[in-house]
């Protein structure tokens, strides 16, 4: 089994599903090399609908080189509106051409349509009775170009591996003329943990263990060689202070101004003359609520990735269940051409049900799952459950540990272990077109083809 890059192994992605050598190359040389179009699952009312009943204007924006948050701020400025009135279905990367939905509360549709921002095309779609949320996104369609591949001839071998992994091509004939169905482990990608400094899950694990001081120091300290030298030096100074004088003002003085969240945490420690666990918890709570949730989510994602890696190491299938697995079924409200798992519909698989559920999986009606551990998580049975418990033991946490204060609390859920997609490959230039359900990462598929340092995946 082919081992992953060191920085990937650090976040639980231990292996590749394909043993073939990667093509190499780079992604995102220019925004148009990475195109993302949301697969919409949100139907608006007409523009002339009653604004009292439908106060939100829904728009579709095609953006080149825009960070989602930056575009929302620019849009609010152009409309002379509060930034809090703007919502969207999914956050996208800056180094791409993206087509995505936004809603604006209490806006004039004509004013929205008239907004003129560089590298942004805006189309008003209608009105809605509520803002758009992350759950309103069914998935994303991708068109990705690889620049300067070193071994383009390995595409067929990789594709044959991924077809077999998906259960689509048991013979492994590698025929890639036209679309083929491929599958990969549904890992959380590097972006979940920090592309340049993957420590978000480490912070989250310390939170779940209620080691509040260690959580703060994981976030503020722990320099990474992938950061600028100035930042590395500042984080090292924080660790020196923590291990010695405990002079939090000196640590704060060492941090550059652009490390906003880190400075806010240390400022809280200075104000409190921190020495007790609750002081460090208060420092963590200076983060925005979504970031407090994010660090715990990253801890859950790390455990999930490790469960998938152990499943790979033991040779258990991903495309079909074994006794002890927990499966979920397809979301009946998803678009017809996109299989979206519905983790609210779960079923345990015993020996008597393996064959029946396998047929559901083969037809794309069911998915094997693994836990995103929280207080209400029920672990699997048999060998899958053994894997889940062993990973939790190694990490040193259990479901009850997620009974935490405030935004750190999580009830947990489950997530499909396999993501399948119909993949279309062009050779000159080497490019891939595919669609994924919400929550799955394009880079997790692309890493199988490139097999490079995640920094090259963008």
Distance between CA atoms of residues 430 and 334, nearest Å: 30
Is 67 a catalytic site residue?
no
Q: Considering only CA atoms, which of 441, 396, 372, 386 is closest in space to residue 142?
A: 441
Residue pair 366/319 in contact by the 8 Å Cβ criterion: no
Residue with tokens 């990789």: 158
Residue pair 418/318 in contact by the 8 Å Cβ criterion: yes
Q: Considering only CA atoms, which of 423, 448, 354 is closest in space to residue 143?
A: 423
Q: Considering only CA atoms, which of 5, 121, 9 is closest in space to residue 66?
A: 121
Distance between CA atoms of residues 207 and 224, nearest Å: 21
Provide the strand spans (E) within 51-96: 56-64, 86-88
Beta bridge partners of 145: 431
Instruction: Provide the edge-to-edge strand list for the sheet that holds 326-330.
Output: 341-348, 326-330, 366-372, 413-416
- What does the block give as tokens for 277? 């666990």
One-character DSSP codes across 101-115: EEEEET--HHHHHT-
CA angle 122, 126, 129 (to 5 degrees): 125
Burial 309-345 (b: 16+ CB within 10 A, else e): bbbbeeebbbbbbbbbbbbbbbbeebeeebbbbebee
Distance between CA atoms of residues 188 and 262, nearest Å: 25
Distance between CA atoms of residues 407 and 328, nearest Å: 27
Burial 414-441 (b: 16+ CB within 10 A, else e): bbbbbbbbebebeeeebebbbbbbbbbb
Give Cα 123 distance to the centre of its chain.
27
Q: Which residue in the list 93, 169, 331, 401 is annotated as catalytic? A: 93
Q: Considering only CA atoms, which of 232, 233, 244, 238 is closest in space to residue 269?
A: 238
- 3-state class percentages of the chain: helix first, strand second, coil last, to nearest 5: 40, 20, 40
Q: Considering only CA atoms, which of 284, 352, 282 is closest in space to residue 323?
A: 352
One-character DSSP codes across 292-318: HHHHHHHHHHHHHHHHHHHHHHHT--S
Angle between helices 277-284 and 260-272 (to 10 degrees): 150
Catalytic residues: 93
């Amino acid at each position: 089994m082919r081992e992953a890059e060191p920085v990937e192994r650090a976040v639980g992605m231990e292996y590749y599903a394909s043993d073939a050598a990667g093509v190499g190359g780079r992604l995102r040389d220019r925004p148009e090399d990475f195109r993302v179009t949301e697969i919409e699952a949100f139907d608006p009312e007409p523009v002339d609908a009653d604004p009292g009943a439908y106060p939100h204007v829904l728009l579709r924006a095609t953006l080149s080189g825009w960070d989602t948050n930056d575009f929302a701020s620019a849009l609010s400025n152009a409309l002379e509106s509060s930034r809090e009135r703007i919502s969207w279905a999914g956050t996208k990367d800056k180094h791409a051409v993206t087509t995505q939905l936004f809603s604006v509360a209490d806006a004039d549709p004509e004013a929205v349509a008239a907004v003129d921002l560089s590298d942004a095309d805006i189309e008003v779609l209608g009105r809605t009775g509520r803002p758009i949320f992350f759950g309103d996104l069914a998935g994303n369609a991708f068109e990705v170009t690889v620049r300067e591949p070193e071994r383009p001839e390995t595409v067929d071998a990789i594709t044959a591996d991924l077809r077999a992994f998906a259960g689509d091509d048991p013979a492994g004939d590698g025929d890639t003329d036209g679309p083929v169905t491929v599958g990969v482990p549904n890992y959380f990608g590097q972006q979940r943990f920090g592309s340049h400094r993957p420590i978000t899950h480490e912070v989250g694990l310390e939170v779940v263990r209620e080691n509040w001081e260690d959580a703060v120091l994981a976030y503020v300290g722990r320099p990474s060689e992938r950061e600028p030298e100035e930042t590395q030096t500042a984080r090292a100074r924080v660790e020196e202070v923590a291990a010695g004088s405990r002079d939090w003002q000196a640590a704060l003085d060492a941090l550059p101004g652009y490390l906003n969240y880190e400075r806010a945490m240390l400022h809280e420690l200075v104000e409190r003359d921190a020495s007790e666990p609750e002081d460090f918890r208060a420092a963590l709570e200076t983060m925005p609520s979504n970031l407090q949730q994010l660090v715990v989510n990253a801890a859950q994602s790390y455990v999930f990735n490790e469960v998938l890696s152990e499943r790979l190491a033991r040779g258990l299938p991903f495309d079909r269940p074994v006794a002890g697995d927990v499966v979920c079924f397809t979301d009946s409200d998803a678009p017809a051409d996109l299989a979206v798992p519905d983790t609210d519909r779960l079923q345990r698989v015993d020996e008597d049900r393996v064959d029946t559920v396998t047929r559901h999986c083969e037809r794309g009606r069911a998915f094997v799952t693994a836990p995103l551990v929280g207080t209400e998580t029920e672990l699997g049975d048999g060998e899958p459950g053994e894997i889940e418990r062993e990973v939790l033991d190694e990490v040193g946490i259990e479901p009850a540990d997620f009974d935490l204060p405030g935004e750190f609390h999580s009830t947990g859920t489950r997530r499909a272990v396999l993501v399948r997609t119909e993949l279309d490959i062009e050779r000159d230039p080497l490019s891939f077109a595919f669609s994924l359900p919400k929550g799955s990462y394009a880079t997790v598929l692309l890493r199988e083809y490139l097999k490079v340092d995640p920094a090259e995946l963008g």
